[in-house]
Amino acid sequence: MKCPRCEKDGKRSTIGDIRFLPVTDMSTHVHYDEDGRRHWHDPNRHGFLAVCSRGHRLHVIKGNKCQIEGCAFGDEGSITAGVPVSFVRVIAVQERQP
């Protein structure tokens, strides 16, 4: 994985400070098509927040594209680069106590 902002600018960077986001928990659907090919359709998406070594915030969403050629189910997801971290005010989120 590469930072899209750095890649666009022709620069190199590393990715770190990864924080995972909640994951959906929907049922998957497995079936065999008319040609006997096994399709695994998983509608769940997961993601994480990360920061590149040049300070760009990354929002990464991973999808689950069906691996069968020609099947349109799902997508690969996306990587979005935001503004450098130095320009962002971080607000702590407190968890609810039981």
Backbone angles phi, psi at 85, to 5 degrees: -55, -30
How far, in Å, CA of 79 to CA of 34, rounded?
A: 35
pLDDT for position 82: 59
> Is the per-residue pLDDT at 57 higher than 60?
yes
pLDDT for position 30: 93
Q: Is the pTM of this model over 0.75?
A: no
**More confident site: 94 or 45:** 45
Report the candidate in 84, 87, 78 with the shortest Cα–Cα distance to residue 59: 78
Q: Where are the domains of the chain?
A: 4-87
pLDDT for position 94: 34
